[in-house]
Amino acid sequence: MNSLRPHAIAADHVFDGTVVREHTAVVVDGARIVDLVATSELPRTMLLRALPDDAWLAPGFIDLQVNGGGDVLFNDQPTVEGIRSIAAAHRKFGTTGLLPTLISDSAEKMRLALDAASAAASEEGGVLGVHLEGPFLSSEKPGVLLVTLAPEAVPPGFIAELVAAGIRVSLGHSMASYRQTRAAMAEGLTGFTHLFNAMRPLSSREGGPIAQALESPDAWYGLIVDGVHVDPAMLRLALRGLGHPMLVTDAMPPVGGSSANFSLHGKNITARDGYCVTDDGTLAGTVLDMAAAVRNCIRLLGVALPDALRFASAHPATFLGLEHMLGKLAPGYRADLVAFDPNDITVLATWVAGRDDHSFRPRGPLGRS
């Protein structure tokens, strides 16, 4: 349903980002939510989209780390068209907002990625900015700019300079000590890219980045919940920390695509058994989507569905400073929504800025006029 008229989307269960409401309709006018009301209280004249019995409606998923999708690798196609293809592939799995992610590359490739993300963000509501896995100093901010870096590899004051330019800084691919991580956070670093992976491990004599992340209420850490990259026991430990968990995919081109093989920096990568590996067996990203991440969070970690949904929407929105417009279903918020079957988190439909971008096959009443 793509309508310029005010219309409503009704579900048996609506998670608004804070609580679950029963038999509720989200009223949308253009790109914004204008109200949440009991379905029974809707005017008979209002256009209504009724979801199948027992379906859930929730804030759309936000993924901070999307290397590719739809057979496109952002490093290979740092263009508006490449970003569109990646975003379209992930919308099928409930992702309504994402950061196309450039894995460490040349300065010229980073410039192309910045320009493409800036243009795409102005045209595509689901593109929130860009994530550079590698230090890059610029005052240009296409929507939101997130930089992953190793604190021990940059000079004192560098992180503070990035933060002052409005750039969010995350630790990743780092062997920083606990003390170095603490100093980085004092300069304004708040994120931890795929916690546990590609960073100094937690040990008895040196806590490193992981200890600092878990004990700091100012930390926001991405978690790859695919059952492969991090053991579920370690992920459950992260959930008991003081920081804020966020589900990320670290997705590669096979997500939403048709090919299991692709190349990265001259290396052949193959998707198999739910993850990506080089020819020598080294992990190289995932074929995880956000709906699967939510499902795994529930099944592998024992997380309640509302909490898993928060990790996939409200938490990343807040980390990006977009909590005033994304991550909740409330009046004034952008109408980014996902409808799904709660039994297996199969996505039924997604809406980006009020536009129906991926719909289920009808299984029940679809509406009235």
Closest by alpha carbon to 138, among 121, 119, 155, 115?
115
Which ranges constitute the DSSP H helices of 30-96? 80-91
Map residue 150 onto helix, strand or coil. Answer: coil
* Given the residues 71, 226, 250, 357, the one annotated as active site: 250
Neighbours of 219 (CB within 10 A): 25
User: What is the Cα–Cα distance from 140 to 121, expressed in whole angstroms?
Assistant: 13
Euclidean distance between the first and the last CA atom of the chain, given in angstroms as a whole number: 12
3-state secondary structure of 173: coil
Q: Rounded to an integer, what distance in angstroms lies between the CA atom of residue 57 and that of residue 55? A: 7
Contact predicate 260/310, CB 8 Å? no
Give the Cα-Cα-Cα angle 288, 294, 296 (nearest 5 degrees): 70
Q: Which two tokens stand for residue 359?
A: 């719909």
Cα distance between residue 292 and residue 301, in whole Å: 13
Half-sphere exposure of 104 (CA within 13 A, CB side): 7
Question: Which residues on adjacent β-strands are paired with residue 27?
Answer: 8, 35
Cα angle value 74/323/358 (rounded, 5°): 50
Has 250 been annotated as catalytic?
yes
> What's the Rg (C-alpha) of the chain?
20
Question: Cβ atoms within 10 A of the Cβ of 108, count?
Answer: 9
Does residue 316 contact residue 246 with C-beta atoms inside 8 Å? Answer: yes
Helix ranges, the chain (H): 80-91, 107-123, 158-164, 178-186, 208-215, 232-239, 290-301, 305-312, 314-319
Query: Which residue from 59, 65, 62, 53 is spatially nearest to 22, judged by alpha carbons?
Result: 53
Catalytically active residues, by annotation: 250
